[in-house]
Every structure is written in structure tokens, then in C-alpha cells.
Structure 1
């Protein structure tokens, strides 16, 4: 059975089969709903049900709580229609600009950026490039049918290759291979571009970039895109890690700060040891933002990294720093463990 989905306030409509999620049907129809993990863990695709009924699959309570569901909210990545429905959600302009492709790629380069972060550069087939927006991600299609998602760490104009920053998760199906048996010239298949995390270019508001760990990868792509645009918007990057070595491209950020007129960089370390001789900012990275910006009402925030960092930042920036909720853009790096708990 097929049902009709109407999106407000845009008025766009698309069909959705009873056995597919609203998000899947929207992407198939080229309707730009916001989304991130697509697995009920991050909450990026949450919106309001105006009319009709849906049935939700497994998801995390932090992505959609029982009280939110009772108030008519829905998580479109795991909601299947039971009738014709009307939903209220802010569509993302430009998210359907580039086609979703399945492509083979060859590993052109592997380089350790730190003890547990590997740079992987992917060479695409000759005469073929992946069109994407800085900040989006790809999904590797593994042999057993499982998938793993990684953000592109370079803006599309930088290189014909795609670079990724992969953190080793001990016991991880994919990352154990990256740090043991994977080698240059291996073939990897992926699907992309995916995600609605990219720069909103119709604004002149100053920007806060917030990264934790390898959440720096899409933030780096955003910075390269802003530089290519010759943007005059003030940008401040806050990058947090447990130890100084977690800020594995600190030198690049310092270079940006020295050479870009409207750019500032604030590295933050939460668990420095005496041998680190750390003299910079300490504590949680989102709290460093709050200490410097008590009023975020005139800002846009782009946040990437661990779910606890992204969730805490959104909650506190909106509740305590007056950030408009619709000016917080995020890519929460949900691990397989996060998805399994959904």
C-alpha cells in the first residue's frame, strides 16, 4: 500500500510505501528533509506530525522521547506511514542538488595523523568525480551488507580525491581493518553524498564551528569552502580533545588563524596530563564557547563530533545562550555501538 506525504510549510508532496520510512521516500523523491545517521540515534530528522499516523521502529530515547512522541513529534528515519500524513519540517534547500551514487574507489594514500587517527585518500575512477557539498558524508558498503559512514575531510574544489579521517575504535568491524590489514591500492565501494550538514550560504551571520575529535573532518571541509568563497563572515573554531594529540591538525588551524583575517581558533583539552604541559583552554569544548559567547542569538553554529558533545551543545546553547534552535546545524558521529542501542 502507498500513502501520500504532504510537507508543510512548503506544500511539497511525495508517495511513501507502507514498508518504507518517510525519510527514505523523501530522499527517493528528491525532497530535502534534514537527516544525519538515518538509524534513529541522532535526532536530526525529527519533525512534527500534523495529520495521520505513523509507526516508529527502534530508536534512541534521546533522539525521540516518549513525551515528544506524545506531543506529536516524529523521527522520520524510522517512521513508516499508516495513512496519508502531513508533516511539519524545515526542508533543506540544496540537499538534493547532487545525485546519490554508488561508486568504487581505490585507496591512494594512508597516513597516520595520530596514534589512533588515519587519513585515507580515495582515488575515484578516471573521468568521474563525486559531486557533494562540504560537510557531507559517504557510506562504505562492506562485504557483509553492513555500512560505515565517514565525512569528507576536504571541500570538493580542493582535490579530485576524497580524504577521510578515521579514528580507530578497537573491536570495530571497519576500523580494525583500517589499522591492521587495509593497504594502499585496496578497493572500497561507497554510496554518497549523504547528509544535510553543509554551509547555509544565504546568511551573513558570524559562525561558530564546534568540533570534537574527528568531528574536525567535515569542519575542515567547511573552512576550505568558506575560504574558497572568500567569505567575510567572522568564524571561530573551537576544537576539543581529551589530550593535545587528539587535535591532530592543530598546526593547520594555527596557520588559518595566522593567515585568515576573519578566523579565530580556540583549542580545548579536557583531560591533559602533566607530561602534556598543556597551557591552553581546559574543560569541555562547548562550555568554552559559552564562556566566550554568553549571547549566541546572532550566530550560526555548526557542530560535529561525539553525540554527547553535540547534544550538550545544542541543549545549552539554545537554553542558556539564546541561540535560535534553527541556527544549530550538526553532524553527530554515531558509532556502531550508538546505533545498536537504538
Structure 2
């Protein structure tokens, strides 16, 4: 049986390789012309040591100097020795450039354009090579705006198993993508995008999870929920969605649908207040919680400050900050 392995690099690029039965991750990577850090191939040097964030594997044979028992218990493994026993997400301690690989560019056709509110538009693309496009729920791509020489970054709002890919865009007065979607876009338009990218993606649900969205920061969380709808979590998941005005609220029906099919999933929304105002102690679970936050920088920092004030240190705190103008900001994707 073959398994898919997502290799996430330090610069946010993600590449996927397929491991055959009893094939090591390193062998599959080199077969795909991805040169992950490697010296010995014998489990002796530790050069390829990487953190497995999701999935099961056989760690293979190696010496203590290459990988200690403590590191192995934390989820570290040696790609030159490990063989997958499920799909994996592996964090590689190198840039994609160092591994002599890059994000792929995909051509697609605009198949749907939906105005969700006065301020928000959804658009859907049908990639020419959908079978070759793999991404982790929460990641983003750089979209080339038709008729211009600029690109804008948008997170997938659709799940990784869907045949088409969708995105949410907040309309702005002078935005390049906003202008295109508002004035010129027509089904059948050709659109290129590059990716996937980003370290903001859903990890294995090993404890309660808290998802917090500001505005169109809801997009990557919808992608995560689509994944959870097909692979129900064993722990509760709560989402809080905040917007500046009633007219900005979108996809509430989708959230209700997910609440009906995902065991333990609940959600809330708020207008003109930070999402922290809707948090209760049970959502924080005394710190034994994984937190995912996507929204404008002030909102993300407000969440961080709120947790500090409550004396709560989450098990994991994953963030994506974006600039509503459409330019990449900090470590996040713009919408």
C-alpha cells in the first residue's frame, strides 16, 4: 500500500511525495527529485532528523547518537530510515531552495463566482491538473490576478479531497483582485496559481481544538472543517468567528452543516467585538488545547494577550496573520 507524505519546509513551501510499500521517506523524496538533508542514509548521522506532525510510521534502525529516545518520543524521526504506515506530515529542517525544489504552478479555469455579501466574494477554480495538486487544510496559494502583473495570496476554503478549489475574498476599493472579481471576472477565465504554501495547517487532533477566525480568516478554517467532516475527531472542536459588521458575516449555513456532521464540533460568532469575548474556560481546557487563529494582526495579538491574561499556555498555538489590502503580512496569507 502507498502513502502520501507532505514535506513542509522552513520557508513555507510544501511538497508531496508518494511512498510505496516498505519505501523510506528519503528514497521516495529523492525519486521525486527533492533533496532533503541527508548524509549517511544509514541512521548514523542524524542529518535528516525531522519532526513528524501527523501520521504513523516505523522508525527503522538507527543509533542513539543520531536520534535519542527522548527525541523519538517527541515525534522526531529519520527520513532515511522511517517507512510510513499512514499518510504523514513531516517538517523538514531546511528551505525548499536547499532541497532543490519549489512550489508548483497550476493552471485552472474559473468555474464559479458568488457574491456572499456586500463585502465578500467566493470564487471557485477547476485546476487542469487536480490530481497533481495536494495541500494541507489551512494552506494558501499565490494567485495571479488576470490582466495584471500582480499576485495575491488566498487560503483554500475547500477541503483537500474536493475536485474543485475555492477561496474567499474581502472586496476592497482599490484591490487588484477585488477589481477583477467585481468588474471583469467571467466563468471560463484562465487563472494560474502557485503553491501550496504556509505552516498554518491542521495537525492531528490529539486534544480539544479551538479555531478562531476574523473576517475572511474563516477560509482556512472551513478547509479544516471539511477535512474533519471526512475524518471525525476524537476530541471536541470549537470555532468562534468574528466580523466588524453584520454585512461581513458569511458561510454561517456551512458552519451549521458542519456542526450537524462533525461529532463534538460547536461554533459561535460575534459582531463588533473580538472573538476572545466569546471564549469560556471550558474552551481553553486549562491549557490542554490546540489553538488555531487566523485574522488581521490586531485580532491575532488580542488572542495572544487574552490567553496570557488568563494564565493559559496552549499545548500548541498556530497563527496566520493577513493584511486586508491583499499584500502578504508577517507569516500569513493575505485575503
Q: TM-score, normalised by structure 1?
A: 0.64
| Distance in structure 1 (CA, Å) of the matches to 2:318 and 2:256 | 24
Partner of 1:237: 239
Deviation at 1:212, TM superposition (A): 1.1
| Distance in structure 2 (CA, Å) of the matches to 1:306 and 1:341 | 10
Per-residue CA shift, 1:117-160, capped at 9, x if unaligned? 11111011156441111110010134654321000001111x21
Q: Is the CA contact 1:294–1:321 (under 8 Å) kept in the aligned structure 2? A: no
Partner of 1:297: 287
Distance 1:286 1:114, change over 3 A: same
Distance 1:165 1:338, change over 3 A: closer
1:134 to 133, 137, 142: 137
Partner of 1:93: 90
| Distance in structure 1 (CA, Å) of the matches to 2:320 and 2:330 | 18
Q: Is the CA contact 1:295–1:321 (under 8 Å) kept in the aligned structure 2? A: no
**Correspondence list, 1:150-229, <5 A:** 150-157=154-161, 159-201=162-204, 203-229=205-231
| Distance in structure 2 (CA, Å) of the matches to 1:265 and 1:26 | 30
Per-residue CA shift, 1:313-341, capped at 9, x if unaligned? 123224534123x6111111224476599
Partner of 1:147: 151
1:311 to 267, 291, 301: 301
Distance 1:104 1:194, change over 3 A: same
| Distance in structure 2 (CA, Å) of the matches to 1:312 and 1:241 | 14
Off by >4 Å, runs of 4+ in structure 1: 24-33, 142-145, 290-296, 336-342
Gaps of 5+ in 1: 1-13, 15-21, 34-91, 271-282
Partner of 1:118: 121
Deviation at 1:296, TM superposition (A): 4.4
Secondary structure at the aligned position of 1:133 is classed as coil
Distance 1:298 1:242, change over 3 A: same
Partner of 1:328: 317
Distance 1:241 1:291, change over 3 A: farther
| Distance in structure 2 (CA, Å) of the matches to 1:228 and 1:242 | 31
| Distance in structure 2 (CA, Å) of the matches to 1:260 and 1:107 | 30
Deviation at 1:255, TM superposition (A): 2.8
Q: Is the CA contact 2:159–2:223 (under 8 Å) kept in the aligned structure 1? A: yes
Gaps of 5+ in 2: 1-8, 16-33, 38-49, 52-88
| Distance in structure 1 (CA, Å) of the matches to 2:232 and 2:184 | 41
Secondary structure at the aligned position of 1:171 is classed as coil
| Distance in structure 2 (CA, Å) of the matches to 1:144 and 1:256 | 37
